[in-house]
Structure 1
Amino acid sequence: MPHPTVADIFRSMAQQRNAFGPFVLDRAAGLVRRDGEEIGLGQRGLALLDALLSADGQAVSKDDLLARAWPGQTVEEANLTVQIAALRKALGKAPSGLEWIATVPRIGYRLPHAHSSETAPRAVRPTIAVLPFESLSGDAEYQYFAEGMVEDIIVALSRFRTFAVVARNSSFVYRDRNAPIRDIANALGVRYILQGSVRRHGDRLRVAVQLIDADTDTHIWVDRFDGDISSLFDFQDRITEAVVGLVEPEIRKAEIERARRKHPDSLDAYDLYLRALPHFRGTTATVRAEAVRLLEQAAHPDPGFATGLAHAAWAYERHETFGSGLGDTERQRCLQLAETALEIGYDDPQVVAICALVFTNVGHDHQRGLAMLRDARDANPNNPTVLSLFAFLNVMAGDIDIGRDTFLRTLHIAPGALENYEILVGVGIAHLFKGEFEQAVDWASRSLAVNNEWLGAYWTLAAAYAHLGRVEQAQATIAKLRTKAPLMRVHDLERHRPRYAERYEIMIGGVRKAGLPD
């Protein structure tokens, strides 16, 4: 076999610099091929891909990319974000399940080395399979009902990005198989199984549902629903809504416990995110700082983990809202994390909703936040986090009645959600802003009964008592608040005025009347 010539070596090197994965960039023809087939990219997409590929695995700054795609022009960075999102969509996912184009925080973007087989580390999400529900009445009509309901549940669960759902064609293989749950889970490669049954009692139907942890073969959640045969489709919709609203919080709780049991040396990005969640809603600066530390740490093994990045930004926002505020460097880091999370997770409604909150509370852009939350709510109307954030921002800066009603719907479909104490006080704040102080007292008290550490519930309760003229109870509430946050002052709440404008004055005036020092 002849030895390669110098020309052959340089030709091979040039080809490598033109290729990554199954893609080849033909610069002369101005096109990209995947496995020999041309894929459509616009002029700017080609320019961006050329710049990234030429860097041979190194990060390319946003300024350099803007100069390559818009030579001689001055354009907003948002234009680059749109083009990168379109380019990612055209390229599809890498074998690792991540984007080919990785975001490099505080710098720009990068492609893997053209001659490397590197795969980015990834946050391994839990997976769930929804098995066909069994019809215990032997009636074909209700078997169709059961299958239709399972399909609706699969579609609704697929809108979540914090776990993956096995496709219907795979899970329905087990329609008539009486195999042990653990064997089914192993065959499908899932951690959780949702199964159920349908039984007729006269003119009534009973649907029983259970969520199972396949690793331990234990029930995480069991419930049953009764409905009238005459309103079959309404009953089907109600079950789908209830099941989907309950599954996500229960899986989240189980995953947090699983991560807590793992050895620290074996933690991946997803585990670090889960470990941060119990600290995430802490009331002390120390606990909140631990959440930031864990979530920042999660960004290093997997910089493409949008959920972790969004929660890291949210953790900084908690310092702004419930602490003494953010410094300039922390504020910039918070907003940068949110922008990066949005670039990566633009198709994840929960990521969009969290970033919307950050842009409102830290960036003071509530119009952008409300618009993003409307989109997130429409994309996944059963996600408790999305709904609660949509409700909160409407109560604070949008339509109070829509916010209150959405909070109530969230409580209805997800009674076991981890953030329910926030949802309870959210209803209380809505009543406070509408001057309905007795109702505000009731809902804030219910929130404190669930979690007596939550500072927002103390603010609301104290303000409502003060506006009712119940001075002693208002002062007693402030005294309890100050045992949780001794350094808190009225000016800590006044910092939020730019976010919420006039309606927030009723909260500030109330806590001042209740005796919170200026």
Structure 2
Amino acid sequence: MADVVGYSRLVEQDEAGTLSALKNLRYDILDPLLSDHRGRMIKLLGDGFLAEFASVVDAVNCAVAVQKQAAAGQAEIAPERRIVLRIGINLGDVVVEDHDLLGDGVNIAARLEQLCEPGGVLISGTAYDHLQGRFGLPLDYAGEQQVKNIARPVRAYRVDFDGTRQPWRMRFRPYSRRLRWAAALAAIVLVAGASWSAFMRSGAAPGSTSNRPSVAVLSFDDMSGNSAPTYYGDGVAEDIISMLSRVPDLKVVARNSSFTYKGRPVDVRQVGKELGVTHVLEGSIRKDADRLRIVAQLIDAKTGEHVWAERFDRSGTDPWALQDEVTEKIVADLVGDIGTLKKAQYRDAWGKDSTSLQEYDYYLRAHDLLTRLQLEPTEQARQVSIEGLSKFPGSALLKLELGYAYFVRGWNGWSQDPTADYRQAGALVREALAQPAPSPMERRLGHFLSAFILSTERKFELALGEAEAAIDLSPHDVYMLAALSQISVMAGNTEQALEWIDRAASLDANPEISQELAVYRGWTLAVSGKYEESLAAFSGDHDTESTFGPVMRAIVLNRLGRTEAAAAELGKALQIDPKFTQAKWRELSFYSDPTIVEHEIADLASLGLPEK
């Protein structure tokens, strides 16, 4: 839905000129762009229009193109006479009546258009969730909007046209038991085996079905009976995934794969075939005050028959206890003789002594915001964590989450004082790990974050020790292996970095993790001086949202004497972040050998990158 800002004023000043300008806008810009993006004009509204698209990507790309061409075409016109649009986009059900569209799907788009800033594009959360990884501009979180005649709040996101809020590099993703569970639509597979060497000897290909039992946990439906967001059901399901990933002789598919089926009817047999698993767990969750109920059913993915279906209830202070029951039931049925997997040993691997449901809820809310990987949600996550700590001042979990918020802000170039943010993050991690008997989960999260914080302080030997401690606690975790390879590169241990990258690649061939590994591998080989191999590795990087990949490719190509191609790659980086400079690269680069960054700066300077 779109309308013209200040239409009545424009008509009052110059009715004929305004109507003529609107006619030209439609025939010169709007109609051709609708055709190019497979859109359909539903109706004109005097000062606006309603259009329909079969694809969210087409709708948003068309809206951006309309705004850019409308602005460019009126650059010579006085600001007070320009035709400026606001555009709202929603993905939702509609009612078709004659040649019109009605219903909440249209109403929400109309309300978003009214909330949109002049010249902007505002999209709903449902559209945002289907857009991840398929759109080249940043999307800034605009909060939950209460709109007229719609009972539930509507999540909203602004299109950032100039891209200045994009991270400078492959984004630091807060490691926890949920990786990107607000937005990701691709898979990361976590394989839990008796040992790494045993898995390698088995010769089983990642993602393939073998004699070893495997399970995909689908997103749990939230049946709480109120307007609570789905993060709670998602979070519990991913906790179960992470718990299962530690079990010997059981393969578990991570949420970024199994959650792609969220919100739509599925054939479990098709899920099993597509994900290469023998079993599927699905269910629902209901949270009411201090009571938690999970209804779960384990299904044979080959036959579609139920292995079991049970209801688990828990009240009081320990949400993990309920998840333990579900997880142990799955293990008992799938692995058979569980041997050493006794409850005490299992709880020693993953459990906490006690956590209140309210504390856990703060943790899930903050993490949902953090994993959106944008400035505004990161700030909101920080505030949620601070609020949670005001009620639970001893919570190690919330201290770690708040530490991640501070670190992410600095690491992604969003901070006015990154050094202060890193210092604050480090203090919070130390406080969390100083708590009496932190759980293995908390220790793992703490070691992971400490490795990055110590790298920013250029304490690389200590950083490597923290990275190794984190990996020891979760040796088959694909994302952890991939992300921590960065620590080894910065510390100058490129052989170890490649070893961790290779291990992660062997565990998961999914396109999303493969793309990240391409960046890590290309960077590692570039630092090692293996430029042709680096360039070949970077060929698997298709990320259009961060500057790090194209900048590193520019450096490598320049060193190979291919200056024209190098300049083109640098141009791609500047399209993503027009304010990118030598100073920013220096500020956000950490190497044990300071000559590495100076040589990189010299390459970029020779290609025309400004100093400041």
- Structure with the bigger RCO (C-alpha within 8 Å, sep 6+) is 2
More helix as a share of residues: 1
TM-score, normalised with respect to structure 1? 0.47
